[in-house]
Amino acid sequence: MISYLNCQNVDPNKIYEAFSHGFSDYLVKMEKTKEEFFNIFFGVEGNDLKYSFIALDGEKAVGLILGGIKDYEGIKTIRCGALCVHPDYRGRGISHELFRLHKELAIKNDCKQMILEVIGENHRAIKFYQKQGYEIVYILKYYTCKDLSKIEYKINCDISIKEIDFDEMLSLNIRSTHINWQNDFDYIIKLGNIKYYGAYKDDTLIGALTISKEGRIFTLFVDEKYRLKGVGRGLLNKAIEELNVKVLTISFPSNASLEGFARKMNFQKEKLFQYEMYLTI
């Protein structure tokens, strides 16, 4: 008989066991040590043991759903950070019961929406989520740039670019556009290896770049009055010079102007894409 417990009440080794077995045949390799798993999924990803549930067959961990709650774009939101079932236990209703507990907890905590990301080619999972009431709202795309030559640029002399801090970056109206969960500021601030660069016209901040020291771009934003003037390219060029990165990566949801910019800067679209799915409750 399958039992379901809140993850606060189980041995952490069981949580890792459920994750390892459940994702053993996933489309993308999820090979993580126990330490990596907890640091990532219960660290930057924003999941919490008290919002997560595990399925057990006796002492055997056979299913897992991770959850995190926060105000997201002004709405109290629960996110499904992972849902998996042991390959030998699929088709027995375990995922349905885990999801039921997840939704029940969302309602209990006065969440107004539920969100998740799912790989676009994971048709079985997409069908499952749609049956639960989720709808696809955004497409999350991934790009990589290995040839940085097109980014080289001497910016207009009346625009200066310099390193800034997190609070300065937040002074821009960046949240006027949709930012996916894994590029959001609550996620970024937990990483610890991030640089922020700002573009200034006189004393006014008109653009900002958030980038890891390895070249992963989280945020690239330019005030609409200053777009198509080389500000975005100048921000990237400054980061490339100072961080000495050789490859840039970026992901973003359904943003035509940013996609056009990425292509112009010689970023190549990856095969991997995800759907951001939402359920209003």
Burial letters for 39-56: b for 16+ Cβ neighbours within 10 Å, e otherwise? eebbebbbbebebbbbbb
Residues 263, 150 within the same domain: yes
In a domain, 159, yes or no: yes
Residues 102, 148 within the same domain: no
Q: In this structure, is the dihedral angle defined by the CA atoms of residues 148, 160, 255 and 253, taken in order, positive or negative?
A: positive
Instruction: Please give the tally of structural domains in the chain.
Output: 2
- For residue 27, what are its two tokens? 């489309």
- pLDDT attached to residue 30: 79
- pLDDT attached to residue 172: 86
**8 A C-beta contact, residue 199 and residue 237:** no
What's the Rg (C-alpha) of the chain? Answer: 21
In a domain, 123, yes or no: no
- pLDDT attached to residue 143: 97
Cβ contacts of 110 within 8 Å, gap of 6 or more:
76
Strand order of the β-sheet with 268-280 is: 2-6, 53-57, 60-72, 75-85, 113-119, 268-280, 135-145, 248-253, 216-222, 204-212, 194-201, 159-164
Residues 149, 269 within the same domain: yes
- pLDDT attached to residue 217: 97
Q: Which amino acid is at 224?
A: E
Contacts of range 224-233, beta carbons closer than 8 Å, 24 or more positions apart = 226/199, 226/201, 227/257, 229/156, 229/159, 230/153, 230/155, 230/156, 231/155, 231/159, 231/199, 231/206, 231/207, 232/207, 232/261, 233/151, 233/153, 233/155, 233/265
Residues 103, 180 within the same domain: no
Q: In this structure, is the dihedral angle defined by the CA atoms of residues 212, 216, 217 and 218, taken in order, positive or negative?
A: negative
In a domain, 133, yes or no: no
Total number of residues shown for the chain: 281
| Full domain range(s) for residue 259 | 143-273
- pLDDT attached to residue 156: 67
In a domain, 26, yes or no: yes
Residues 160, 261 within the same domain: yes
In a domain, 117, yes or no: no
In a domain, 280, yes or no: no
pLDDT along the chain (281 residues), means of 10: 97 98 86 94 96 98 98 96 97 97 98 98 96 97 93 77 92 83 90 93 94 96 90 94 96 92 95 97 94
